[in-house]
Structure 1
Amino acid sequence: MDNKTPTTTHLTDAQRIDSLRLIRSDNVGPRTFRSLVNHFGSARTALQRLPEMARRGGADRPGRILSEEDARTEIAAGERIGVHLVAPGEDGYPPRLAELDDAPPLLGVRGVRDVLMRPIIAVVGSRNASGAGLKFAGSLSRDLGEAGFVIASGLARGIDAAAHRATIPSGTIAVLAGGHDRVYPPEHEGLLAELIAAGGAAISEMPLGHSPRARDFPRRNRLISGVALGVVVVEAAHRSGSLITARIAAEQGREVFAVPGSPLDPRAAGTNDLIKQGATLTTEASDVIDAVEPIMGRPIMLREGDDEPLASEPDAGDRARIVNLLGPTPILLDDLIRMAGTTPAIARTVLLELELAGRLERHGGGMVSLL
């Protein structure tokens, strides 16, 4: 079975508050958080430098920085309903999720932490699932659970719910798109309570009170695949959210499995295409187990920081060249560095300043564009 992360950490109360303040500040996402902490050495120092960096990036006024009082309030409110904020390397933070460049700096965990440290398989699929799809998702998940795997899914209607219900006895993880107190869909609040009471868990990177929006679900999907060894897609139409999860899983280096379906059923069109593209055709639990067993014994290591630090202070010429090369069309970071005739450290610093000013958008595959 999968081993726990060999490197363990434990944040002090002060460090946890500083980390929460930083990740909840305007224009700071997981990658930006990581760059700032790697460069400045701590979240506290990064917080002190945020206004200056945003100003250099072209911000008209400083972005909002979460106050220490609000951070303490959020932590206390979470603990009242059993939610604890854990950092990569701490007990309860899924080791494979901690490997990712965009791993949440703090993850809200509710339930039994041990279930998050065991080998995990994600099972996802259509909300408007067929009867056959629901039955197969349940039986496959149950078989995987009996084989020692924990099942992760998104608590959505259809396939997700079938996977959760089938694995309540063996352990299941609900990955939420909103805050822990904003369950979506609302009718699954009972299911969530049942799986937690039985020894499962729920995770979210969103603050309490955050109701999920459309753009939050792809962000949630990266966590579903990120915690897992592999992702099984049971039913998915073209352009479905489950296909986004499969694409993200492939980008993360996870195994992708797809259950074949009738070519006459549009709910199977996406899964059949995944098989054509190289996903493992899956008709029983052994198809999944045979594929992931060889990678389960590999040690889990936390991702390291950038090899090269940020530049202390790019000059006006560096900034002008980089900004002039950026536009609404995404460009590879390596191409940007080459065209600007600058160093990676200077380019990363300028991009970070633009991001903190709310002027930069990051895309998959190391691409960036100007907003």
Structure 2
Amino acid sequence: MERAELADWLRLSLTPGIGDGAARRLLAAFGLPGQIFGQTAAALRQVLSQAQAEALQAAPAGLQAAIDQTWQWLQTAEVNGVTRRLVTLGDTGYPASLLEMADPPLMLYLLGAADFDLTQLRHSIAVVGSRNPTPQGATNARSFARALGDAGLPVVSGLALGVDGAAHQGALDAAGDTPRLATVAVVGTGLDRVYPARHRDLAHRITLQGLIVSELPLGTPPLTQNFPKRNRLIAGLARGTLVVEAALASGSLITARLTSEQGKEVFAIPGSIHSPQSRGCHALIREGAKLVESVNDILEELPPLRTQGPAAAPAADGPASSSHTPAAEDPLLDALGFDPVSLDALSARTGWSAAALQARMLELELEGHISRLPGGLFQRMAST
């Protein structure tokens, strides 16, 4: 992209009062941004309101700084195998799935491996969920993402804490050292910053075996109003969305709703009826989302996506599969069940003393069979 072309696209996207909808009308009427800015005020008023037409005839504040910053960012196009790119609505590499949305973004900033592009995401699955998942929820997110990766499907998520981060890690686990598009992180900031900062190392791993994507200009901080926009891109890029854990008031449910509105599949993992983090998934299932216990429940709904044989995603890899049982049954695990439970309740169920229970629970925790929850509760891990 030449600097003049970049300047025109940035001017169009940054002009106050010209949202994506108005910008798309202008592109449809006049062609590329350079042609738009050559139109008379009378011609612009055929497409825009008078206030919008007047705003478009003056360069927005801060435009030159944005041009300089973005141009400089693009000039360091490749550092240690990581490339920086800008894809506009007029480019042939713009993902077709986003063109089917009601409000596709004008520009997409890409940070990642040089050989990957967004057109490869036609077979991807979004994995989203709570920022504060239960231990089992985090395990499910990572295990399902790994199983999807083993089946050859890229995983799309939002780089947030909790389920998103676990999903990206699982997809990277599946890729190993193989140079392929493992995962895509759609973020709600400019690509010159990492949010949350705790995921800086994860973001670097993603740039080596995937992509980080944003529609927001460089320098954009993490503003609350931008994350629903991020969610719509996650839904738009992926073939379907898996919700691992979500409260009833959750951004993940926004992503699921947008996925459904786009005519795509929504999947949800059920959980304990006592867990607030399961209520969003249960609500989705009541509304028609497919209940998922293993990755094969996803693959069978999307048969064209199965790129390998049945061994690509064995049932045993499905972390929530009810058919998976431990090699040696433990009576304490049977008494624990799969819902969170207190030590007092376990003592009443088993007749064990508190001291004996504490000793055995510590052993099971160290072996990875149970997890310790806030409030003195324990929960069995489904992988056992």
Contact 1:226 / 1:249 at 8 angstroms: preserved in 2?
Answer: yes
> What secondary structure sits across from 1:168 in the alignment?
helix
Correspondence 1:116 to 2:107: no
Query: How far off its partner does 1:207 sit?
Result: 0.9
Correspondence 1:153 to 2:146: no
Separation (CA, whole Å) in 2 of partners of 1:225 and 1:296: 20
Query: How far off its partner does 1:103 sit?
Result: 1.4
Q: Where does 1:34-45 land on structure 2 (aligned, <5 Å)?
A: 34-45=24-35
Query: Which residue pairs with 1:104 in the alignment?
Result: 105
Query: How far off its partner does 1:33 sit?
Result: 1.6
Per-residue displacement from partner, 1:199-222 (whole Å, max 9, x unpaired)? 211000111111021100000001
**Using CA pairs below 8 Å that are at least 6 residues apart, which structure has the higher relative contact order?**
1
Query: How far off its partner does 1:234 sit?
Result: 0.5
Query: Which residue pairs with 1:62 in the alignment?
Result: 55
Contact 1:176 / 1:203 at 8 angstroms: preserved in 2?
Answer: yes
Correspondence 1:80 to 2:76: yes
Query: How far off its partner does 1:83 sit?
Result: 2.2
Separation (CA, whole Å) in 2 of partners of 1:247 and 1:268: 17
Higher mean alpha-carbon deviation, 64-73 vs 253-262, is at: 64-73
Identity across aligned pairs (percent)? 38
Higher mean alpha-carbon deviation, 46-55 vs 229-238, is at: 46-55
Query: How far off its partner does 1:282 sit?
Result: 1.1
Query: How far off its partner does 1:151 sit?
Result: 0.3
> What secondary structure sits across from 2:125 in the alignment?
strand
Contiguous gaps of at least 5 residues in structure 2: 78-82, 176-181, 308-384
Correspondence 1:195 to 2:206: yes
Q: 1:31 aligns with which of 21, 29, 36?
A: 21
- Over aligned residue pairs, what C-alpha RMSD do you find? 2.7
Q: TM-score, normalised by structure 1?
A: 0.70
Contact 1:17 / 1:72 at 8 angstroms: preserved in 2?
Answer: no
Separation (CA, whole Å) in 2 of partners of 1:245 and 1:195: 21
Q: 1:187 to 1:78 in 2, by over 3 A?
A: farther
Separation (CA, whole Å) in 1 of partners of 2:41 and 2:222: 29
Separation (CA, whole Å) in 1 of partners of 2:292 and 2:117: 25
Q: Where does 1:269-308 land on structure 2 (aligned, <5 Å)?
A: 269-294=279-304
Q: TM-score, normalised by structure 2?
A: 0.68
> What secondary structure sits across from 1:181 in the alignment?
coil
> How many residues are treated as equivalent by the alignment?
286
Q: 1:245 aligns with which of 230, 255, 270?
A: 255
Contact 2:3 / 2:71 at 8 angstroms: preserved in 1?
Answer: no
Higher mean alpha-carbon deviation, 87-96 vs 31-40, is at: 87-96
Separation (CA, whole Å) in 2 of partners of 1:89 and 1:255: 28
Separation (CA, whole Å) in 1 of partners of 2:290 and 2:103: 26
Correspondence 1:172 to 2:183: yes
Q: 1:213 to 1:16 in 2, by over 3 A?
A: same
Contact 2:116 / 2:211 at 8 angstroms: preserved in 1?
Answer: no
> What secondary structure sits across from 2:284 in the alignment?
helix
> What secondary structure sits across from 2:172 in the alignment?
coil
Separation (CA, whole Å) in 2 of partners of 1:32 and 1:84: 25
Separation (CA, whole Å) in 1 of partners of 2:301 and 2:168: 22
> What secondary structure sits across from 1:256 in the alignment?
strand
Query: How far off its partner does 1:104 sit?
Result: 1.5
Query: How far off its partner does 1:95 sit?
Result: 3.1
Report the structure number with the largest CA radius of gyration: 2
Separation (CA, whole Å) in 1 of partners of 2:40 and 2:169: 45
Separation (CA, whole Å) in 1 of partners of 2:254 and 2:30: 34
